Amino acid sequence: MRPDSSVFSQLARAFQRISASLDRAVQLNITFLEESDPTAIARRIANPPTPRAGFVVAAPDTDAIRHALREVVAKGLSVVQVVSRIVDEADFVGTENHAAGRTAGLMLSRMCRSSGSVLALCHSGSSEVHCP
């Protein structure tokens, strides 16, 4: 995901603030990879440059990334997904997007005074939070 995105830059800053309160034995590494290269993301998930006990991931939902996540979870690594739930085998922290979409639809139906088409715009289809 992109560090220039306000969501991901805020998330990175929040993790940095949290890391200040952790034991010195806990090391936090924040890495941004090009979301348009899911193969590189999957490689990083499967073969990180440094050892780790677990990780938090925000990534597009692709076959390669799904496969890499399932492999590391099967090996016992703790994985927390944010933004999109890519695999059911790992924990997820974030918005339940289907419920949020239903609520948005209900609110929109109450605001509209007549029937007709609705145009939905989204930034990117690479994660659940951006497009259903």
pLDDT in tens, 52-65: 999 999 999 999 99
Residues 67-112 pLDDT 10s: 999 999 999 999 999 988 899 999 999 887 778 888 988 898 888 8
Per-residue pLDDT for 126 more than 90? no
Angle at 3 between CA 37 and CA 98, to 5 degrees: 75
Overall pTM > 0.85: no
Angle at 31 between CA 121 and CA 98, to 5 degrees: 35
E strands, the chain, in order: 54-57, 78-82, 91-93
